[in-house]
Structure 1
Amino acid sequence: MKEQIRQMSIQLFAEKGFKETSIQDIVNALNVTKGTFYYYFTSKEQLLMDIHLSYIDSLLQKQKTILEDPQKSYREKLHEVVYLLIHDIEKEGLSAKVYFREMRNLSEPHLSLIASKRDLFRRQIEEILRSGMEKQEFRDDLPVDIVALGVLGMANWSYFWFDPSGRETDSSISDIFIKILLEGLKGST
């Protein structure tokens, strides 16, 4: 039942927004009582926090697996992290939407915890970039922090427009983003 509450809430938060969705809306959609809701969650914000933690912890674990692979170049690791973000948005579309759009509805200390995990994800992208620069896989004349934010901006904003049933797949979009990042838009002339 806890997972059913989470999934229904993700759907309702994505459709209506966190503030516009009441606990009554959630329990009505599941045809359960408020007591059932409160058995699993102390508040709507705790539920939102649970959704956020689940999303970011899953991303961090997947990113860690990529980072720890000694067989992959830093270019490959960067590509896999970009793909991870796009693919996760495809696979977890509504969760991604809730994560990116509704974070502002978390209060302290919940917000700080999620922000620290989000910052860890970004710092680990910076480490890929920094190490890739040291190994001369990437140019080294750009600020690592700005490049990392650019990577995240490109990939994370796709939750807003990416259509998994559209003309491009998560893999092809990742390839396009990596080409832009590594080759730019410079023509052949």
Structure 2
Amino acid sequence: MKETIMDKSIELFAEKGFKETSIQDIMDELHVTKGTFYYYFKSKEELLKDIHLQYIERLLENQKKIISDPSKTCQEKLFAIIYKLIQDIEKEGQRAKVFIREINHLSDQYLDIVLPKRDQFRENVQLLIEEGIKNGEFRTDLPPDIVSFGILGIANWSYFWFKPTGKVSDKRVAEIFYEMLIHGIQQNN
């Protein structure tokens, strides 16, 4: 039931927003009482924190698998991370939207739990870029921290516009992002 409450909440938060969705809205959709909600969560904010933690912990786990693959270059690992973020939109689009859009509704006590994990994901991308610079795979004249923020900004905001059922596949979107990041958009003459 806890997962069912989380799934329905994600759906409603993505559609209406966290602030505009009440606990009663969630319970009405599930046809259960508020007592059921409070059995699993102390508050709507705790529910949002759990949604954030579940999402970022899964992302970190997937990222770790990609980064720890010794058979891949830094460029291949970077592409795999971008592709994984885009690929997840089909099954995790609403969850990602809530994760990105609704974080400002978490109080400091919950942000202290969630933000270090979000930061770790970005720092792992930065470390990958730094390793790629050392290996001669990436340019040395761009600051890895800003590059990592840029990569995640591009990939994360695609949750708001990318349609997995559209005419461009998730893999092609990842390829376009990767090419744009690695080679830029300047015409080679």
For Structure 1 versus Structure 2, the TM-score category normalised by the shorter chain is over 0.9
Partner of 2:2: 2
Provide the rounded CA distance (Å) in 2 between the counterparts of 1:145 and 1:59: 19
Q: CA deviation at 1:89?
A: 2.5
**2:34 is the counterpart of 1:38:** no
Provide the rounded CA distance (Å) in 1 between the counterparts of 2:186 and 2:93: 32
Q: Is the 8 A contact 1:90 1:162 kept in 2?
A: no
Partner of 1:171: 171
Secondary structure of 1:92's partner? helix
Partner of 2:129: 129
Residue identity matched to 2:30: L
**2:189 is the counterpart of 1:186:** no
1:40-79 correspondence runs (5 A): 40-79=40-79
Provide the rounded CA distance (Å) in 1 between the counterparts of 2:150 and 2:23: 37
Residue identity matched to 2:94: L
Residue identity matched to 1:135: N
Residue identity matched to 2:153: G
Provide the rounded CA distance (Å) in 2 between the counterparts of 1:42 and 1:26: 15
Secondary structure of 2:88's partner? helix
Partner of 2:140: 140
Q: Is the 8 A contact 2:89 2:164 kept in 1?
A: no
Which ranges of structure 2 fall in alignment gaps of 5 or more residues? none
Q: CA deviation at 1:3?
A: 1.1
Secondary structure of 1:146's partner? helix
Which deviates more from structure 2 when the two are superposed, residues 110-119 or residues 47-56?
110-119
Residue identity matched to 1:69: D
Deviations 1:131-189 (A, max 9, x none): 00100011111111111111011101101101111111111100000100111112131
Provide the rounded CA distance (Å) in 2 between the counterparts of 1:165 and 1:154: 20
Identity of aligned residues (%): 55
Partner of 1:25: 25
Which deviates more from structure 2 when the two are superposed, residues 55-64 or residues 80-89?
80-89
Provide the rounded CA distance (Å) in 2 between the counterparts of 1:20 and 1:75: 42
- Give the total of aligned pairs: 189
Partner of 2:92: 92
Secondary structure of 1:7's partner? helix
Which ranges of structure 1 fall in alignment gaps of 5 or more residues? none
Which deviates more from structure 2 when the two are superposed, residues 84-93 or residues 131-140?
84-93
Q: CA deviation at 1:35?
A: 0.6
Deviations 1:4-26 (A, max 9, x none): 11111001111111111111111
Provide the rounded CA distance (Å) in 1 between the counterparts of 2:89 and 2:99: 10
Q: CA deviation at 1:96?
A: 0.5
Provide the rounded CA distance (Å) in 1 between the counterparts of 2:99 and 2:141: 33
